[in-house]
Amino acid sequence: MTIRLTTAATVIALLFGANGALGADKPTDPQIAHIAYTAGVIDIEAAKQAIATSKNKTVVEFAESMVRDHEAVNKQALDLVKKLNVTPEDNDTSKALSQAAETKRQELAKLSGAEFDKAYVENEVAYHKQVNGALETLLIPAAQNSDLKSLLETGLKLFEGHQQHAEHVAAELK
Amino acid sequence: MLPARAAILTLLLGAAAVAAPSQAETIRVTIDRLVYAPAEIQAKVGDEIEWINKDPLVHTATVKGGAEVLLPAKKSGRLLLQEPGSFDYICRYHPNMKGHITVRP
């Protein structure tokens, strides 16, 4: 619990903090594209871990829907950056997200059965909430290109759906 | 010439008038960027709803404790309305997508 909260807090600080990795500057479109794409990849990796580990049908089905949706959206994102001739640019926020995800992955790897299921689904709720917060308050307002902004807005709607889906699964596990 | 044309017209109108009350309709709902449009539908028993999914995502139209129509990415799905009532439905994978169907007898 403490580890999870600390990790989440670190990432949020990096995403929002004026003294964080992004500094006072807003992220540029190539950075935003990279952050959004990385956020999707992280959730796909987490879902694959769940599919390999969980024996719970509801959890596995949830994880499969995460892989399916995030792959579809990331494909759209790749098509868009190609169309716009933008090269996604790695940045400290993307790095912090990946690092936090790796810590989480290792933490979950130590669990199994109902303990794993609960921890995975709770993290999915927290993770989507965190990404939605970043989309709403930082990434969408900062996006310059209207196509990118529109894709991020659809992404927000989708991830809000995922958050609710994860909350339903979490309630079912209790 | 003219009377004949009038007769045909009458015949056509007559046929339409007879057919209309019992004819079941297909009501189309489009899904675009995780929104059912229109979200609110008025229908009658015997009508069919066709959901046209324009998203590259799999959706469903799921009535709580009732019917579920799976809507694969870029595909459509249908539901025959068999009983009257007022139904809320959602997408099972994205529960923030919401629609409502009122079915008259």
The alpha-carbon gap from B96 to the nearest alpha carbon of chain A, in Å, equals 5
Q: Is B3 within the bounds of a domain?
A: no
Decide if B71 touches A, using CB distance below 8 A: no
Q: Is B40 within the bounds of a domain?
A: yes
Residue A157 DSSP SS3: helix
Q: Rounded to 10 degrees, what is the CA torsion of A52, A55, A58, A60?
A: 10
Q: Is B89 within the bounds of a domain?
A: yes
A18 pLDDT tier (thresholds 50, 70, 90): very low
Query: What pLDDT score does B11 carry?
Result: 46
Q: Is B50 within the bounds of a domain?
A: yes
Q: Is B4 within the bounds of a domain?
A: no
Domains and CATH numbers, chain A: 28-173 (1.20.1260.10)
* Strand ordering across the sheet containing B85-90: B40-44, B98-104, B85-90, B59-63, B68-71
What is the rounded distance in angstroms from the CA atom of residue B102 to the CA atom of residue B88? 9
A167 pLDDT tier (thresholds 50, 70, 90): very high
| Complex confidence, ipTM | 0.84
Under an 8 A CB cutoff, do B73 and A65 touch?
Answer: no
Decide if A158 touches B, using CB distance below 8 A: yes
What is the rounded distance in angstroms from the CA atom of residue B24 to the CA atom of residue A133? 46
Q: pTM, whole model, 2 decimals? A: 0.83
Under an 8 A CB cutoff, do B93 and A157 touch?
Answer: no
Under an 8 A CB cutoff, do A161 and B93 touch?
Answer: yes
Mean pLDDT of A34-46: 96
Query: What pLDDT score does A25 carry?
Result: 73
Asked if the peptide bond before residue B84 counts as cis, ω within 30 degrees of 0, the response is: no
Under an 8 A CB cutoff, do B56 and A75 touch?
Answer: yes
Q: What does the pLDDT look like over B69-94, one tens digit per residue?
A: 999 999 999 999 999 999 999 999 99
A99 pLDDT tier (thresholds 50, 70, 90): very high
> What CATH number does residue B57 fall under?
2.60.40.420
Nearest-Cα residue of chain A relative to residue B91: A161
A24 pLDDT tier (thresholds 50, 70, 90): very low
The alpha-carbon gap from A99 to the nearest alpha carbon of chain B, in Å, equals 28
The alpha-carbon gap from A162 to the nearest alpha carbon of chain B, in Å, equals 6
pLDDT at B21 over 80: no
HSE, CB side, 13 Å, CA atoms: give it for residue A144: 8
Enumerate residues 6+ apart whose C-beta is below 8 A from B22: none
Q: What is the DSSP letter of A174?
A: -
- Of A2 and B66, the structure prediction assigns the larger pLDDT to B66
Q: Rounded to 10 degrees, what is the CA torsion of B27, B32, B34, B37?
A: -30
pLDDT at A2 over 70: no
Decide if B21 touches A, using CB distance below 8 A: no
What is the domain range of residue B29? 24-104
Q: Is B7 within the bounds of a domain?
A: no
pLDDT at A80 over 50: yes
Query: What pLDDT score does A174 carry?
Result: 85
Question: Which residue among A65, A154, A160 sits closest to B93, beta carbon to beta carbon?
Answer: A65
CA–CA–CA angle B46, B51, B57 (5° rounding): 155
Q: Is B2 within the bounds of a domain?
A: no
Number of structural domains found in chain B: 1
Q: Is B69 within the bounds of a domain?
A: yes
CB count in 10 Å sphere of residue A58: 14
Query: What pLDDT score does B56 carry?
Result: 96
